[in-house]
Amino acid sequence: MQDSTLKRFGVSMEGNLLRKFDHLVKQRGYENRSEAVRDLVRDALIQQSWEDNEQIVAGTILLFYNHHQRNLLEELTNIQHSMHDLVLATTHFHLDHTSCLELIVVKGKVKDIQKFSNSLTSLKGVEYGKFTVAPVEQV
């Protein structure tokens, strides 16, 4: 059962850290510190949920790669087909003559998606890869 009532609590921190935090609050456009703290707590809980390999998550795998790399496109396709049950959608962008960006939307168990992401980002020719995730179940 979810308790959606607001609860107040106090937080103490050093002046220098608070000034930096206030700068972050302003920079990101939060109306107040409470909104920023809530987002930080949510993010920490999401990161912690990765520790449960059985947790069902949804997220993205972002890849930047050189499409001229020998056999890379074939390898990317083969890996994605072998893990097709995790893939919800794929979007491909041509950035310039040699560079591509691919965004793969995924859903499944953390351990399976992490393995999938690692197999893609470790391929020769993938210049950058990033796996972002959020739990499907409410945190």
Which residues, in sequence order, are CB contacts of 5 under 8 Å at separation 6+? Answer: none
Helix (H) or strand (E) holding 16: helix 15-27
Binding residues for Ni(2+): 81, 92, 94, 100
Beta carbons of 43 and 35 less than 8 angstroms apart: no
Q: What is the three-state SS of 97-127?
A: CCEEEEEEEEEEEHHHHHHHHHHHHCCCCEE
Beta carbons of 33 and 20 less than 8 angstroms apart: no
Instruction: Identify the residue whose tokens are 């890996």.
Output: 79
Instruction: Identify the residue whose tokens are 């919800």.
Output: 88
Binding residues: 81, 92, 94, 100
